[in-house]
Amino acid sequence: MADELEDQHRMMDGTFWYGIPTLFRCDHVADPTAADIALVGVPHSTGNGTTQRDQHLGPRAVRNISALGRRVHNDFGIDPWGRCRVNDLGDVPLSEGNNNERSIEMITDFYRSIDAAGCRPVSIGGDHSITGGILQAIGGAGSTLTGGEKACLLHFDAHTDAYHNIPHFFGAVKSAAHWASYLVRDGHVDAEHSVQVGIRGNTRSLDWLEPSYSLGYEVIRKADYDQMGAQQVIETINERIGDRPLYITFDLDCLDPTVAPGVSNIEAGIEGFGMDQAIELLRSVRGKNIIGGDVVCLMPTIDTPNQITSYRATAVMFEIISLIADRHHPAS
């Protein structure tokens, strides 16, 4: 009878509408010392001060469907769930969510315990300001995961989010438009060995890339990718990053709106990445020292009825989880 019940649960665990909706059907264990990879929801919207503030609903949307994303990785030939302990730590408790600056510090405090445990976080947001809060904890001086080094970024996005030429974004200072700048200024990110890829957009000024250049980022616009081709872009990424501590941040708006319609700050004027293109670039950093990653800017309230953008977010998270498991937890 016990075996029969276990078989029944195993069958149901592959459905999205059954049971407790933890991320990828992982155990909910709040203690980061009990995990090698920590899955975290960051339900934060006030770092992107536009009228589209529903990004805080992203973690719940992915939890609701991510059981279907629990897979083995055929291309890597691994089962990441069997390689290491992957637990859902729950959501960052942002009890002052309307206060962006306070929320960013609360995010940092939450991730400090993850860093101290030597646990590598893979997070679902939330707007892109959450990356600032996370890397304040796990990159730079005092970080366990980087050994005190600055983190390098592989940053997928339609926008550079390094706009230190404006003092705030609708009142938010450590905002979705500023994190890629202040993290460099404050010693958490090494821009000289980081890459921003997929950048495109209908911008407000002709010098919109200058802040990134002045900080030292390698900027690969979507137009550059189209001209260079995937292999040359991959070579640039690998040469730039080397084996330094790497953090992957993936803004879903780097994908074309036909691929991922449920995002904030959608850019429809220039074609974005297809899913296969984005996954190829993600997999190009296989074997690197990845300290963690996040997926951001999911807007479930404007997604399609079949929740395609949530599924895209799930797929990207799975790739980051698999990259970490493959490098840091080899088969015995």
pTM: 0.95
pLDDT band at 8 (very low <50, low <70, confident <90, very high): confident
Inter-residue contact 158 to 250 (CB < 8 Å): no
Beta bridge partners of 197: 156, 220
Inter-residue contact 80 to 69 (CB < 8 Å): no
The whole-number pLDDT of residue 165 equals 83
The whole-number pLDDT of residue 323 equals 98
99-112: pLDDT as tens digits: 999 999 999 999 99
Q: What is the residue-averaged pLDDT of the chain?
A: 94
CA geometry: angle 292, 163, 104, nearest 5 deg: 45
- For residue 314, is pLDDT > 80? yes
Domain range for residue 205?
Answer: 2-328
CA geometry: angle 150, 153, 154, nearest 5 deg: 160
Inter-residue contact 133 to 181 (CB < 8 Å): no
> Structurally, how many domains does the chain consist of?
1
171-202: pLDDT as tens digits: 788 988 899 999 999 999 999 999 999 999 87
76-126: pLDDT as tens digits: 999 999 999 999 999 999 998 899 999 999 999 999 999 999 999 999 999
pLDDT band at 51 (very low <50, low <70, confident <90, very high): low
The whole-number pLDDT of residue 9 equals 79
The CATH number given to whatever domain includes residue 175 is 3.40.800.10
Measured in whole angstroms, the distance separating CA 219 from the mean position of its chain's CA atoms is 18
All residues at 6 or more sequence positions from 11 whose CB lies less than 8 Å from its CB, including other chains: none
Single-letter residue type at 133: G
All residues at 6 or more sequence positions from 284 whose CB lies less than 8 Å from its CB, including other chains: 234, 237, 238
Radius of gyration over every alpha carbon of the chain, rounded to an integer in angstroms: 19
140-166: pLDDT as tens digits: 999 999 999 999 999 999 999 998 888
For the chain, the 3-state helix, strand and coil shares in percent, each to the nearest 5, are 40, 15, 45
281 burial type by CB count under 10 A (0-12 exposed, 13-18 middle, 19+ buried) = buried
